[in-house]
Amino acid sequence: MQPVWAGHPWVFAQAIERIVGDPKPGDEVDVIDARQNFLGRGLFSPKSAIRVRLFTRDDERFDRDLLVQRLRAAEDKRVLLGIRSDEPGRVTDSYRSLYGEGDDLPGLIVDRLGSALSVQFTTVGMALRRELVLDALEEVYAPSAIVDRTAVKAAQAEGFQAQGGVARGQLSGFEVRERGLYFALPLELGQKTGFYFDQRPLRDVVERLSRGREVLDAYSFVGAGGLSAARGGASRVLSVDSSEVAVRVGREAARANELNVEFLEEDAEQVLEQSSDRFDLVLVDPPKFAHGRAQKEKAARAFRRLIGLAVRAARRGGLVCVSSCSQAIDASDLTRALALGARDQGRRAQVIERVFQGADHPVPAAFPEGLYLSSIIAVLS
């Protein structure tokens, strides 16, 4: 129980000596140590290796008042940090409004996309309180609509049925403004809750580094990175993604923002492998290679190979930026893969900048699992 005592919000099955009573999935349970000290209260997940996720260290119940208070605190934090902005030319009305454990509501993720919300329920306890959560969201945000984007696999692992689609209101798509860029996102887009808000800090860096450079944005999704590069003054931007819908949305966004970005609907790895073009800045942000520690070695090898292809596509003196969205492959693992991938191409890489997930994805100091996104930018010789 040492991690829990220090502030970690998870109680693993192997840390539990005994269970008093017969708690049902999603029930509130108290966690106490061997000396009968109260450590916190959480929601019970009998099918998960994480048996309890704590929502409080005090003697309080999970009810609508608690939900509303936590939601408002999370939103106030994002306003205070300047994530939401009305600055002319840099308007941002879309971001992660609530990040599970980072905002003291494990099992719930809420994204604000313009006037609407997108939610994910990731634990059985939170899913069983779905209507209570939706009511609280309507009270705090007064959204035009709420869309449920709960992942089927996550629901199955927790033992509940995912309910997708528009949960409240009416909606055919989202309208997103981020740092002054506009995106119209149809519901069919699908990934995550609809937009990769965690990469906002990296897009700022890409915009700053792109002036006069030819940029390749591999695994571009809807092209937010490529559009940032174009707005930063890139001489050429090529964005590559295998999703027909994402490429279509990206092209429409480029037109709407009056930016010159070329989109290619192809497998990004194949383009890196087969293209004879060379670029001054190569962005590589692949899907998650490792879903847990057991897959770490395989993921590290995949990163090494992919980084090698990215290095080969970059000119000498150019830049490569690689991202990992898995907590299993952290910044040090990514740096090693970068060094080896560059060496495989007879090149050297010098790290000049590291970027992590944005401030709308806060991480409790005692909860390193919350820090899952790492990006490294290096200059190549």
Nearest one of 358, 33, 26, 8 to 201, comparing CA atoms: 358
* Residues 79-109 pLDDT 10s: 999 999 999 889 999 999 999 999 999 999 9
How high is the pLDDT of residue 109? Answer: 97
Token duo for residue 240: 């590559």
Q: pLDDT-based confidence at 330, cuts 50/70/90?
A: confident
State whether residue 219 is helix, strand or coil.
coil
Joined together, the tokens standing for residue 62 give: 């999970």
* pLDDT tens digits along 348-381: 999 999 999 999 999 999 999 999 999 999 999 9
Other C-beta atoms within 10 Å of 76: how many?
10
pLDDT tens for 280-295 read 999 999 987 766 666 7
Q: Write the pLDDT tens digit of every residue in 154-194.
A: 999 999 999 989 999 999 899 999 999 999 999 887 666 66
Question: Nearest 10 degrees: CA dihedral of 327, 176, 242, 191?
Answer: 50
CB atoms within 10 A of CB 370: 18
Partnered with residue 117 across adjacent β-strands are 112, 146
pLDDT at 292: 65
Task: Indicate which residue of 31, 321, 325, 338 is catalytic.
Answer: 325
**Side-chain-facing half-sphere of 352: CA atoms under 13 Å:** 15
Domains of the chain: 2-56 (2.30.130.10), 64-177 (3.30.750.80), 196-380 (3.40.50.150)
In this structure, are residues 67 and 14 in contact, taking their beta carbons and an 8 Å threshold? no
Q: Kindly report the pTM of this predicted structure.
A: 0.93
Using an 8 Å Cβ cutoff, are 194 and 174 in contact? yes
* Active site annotation includes 325: yes
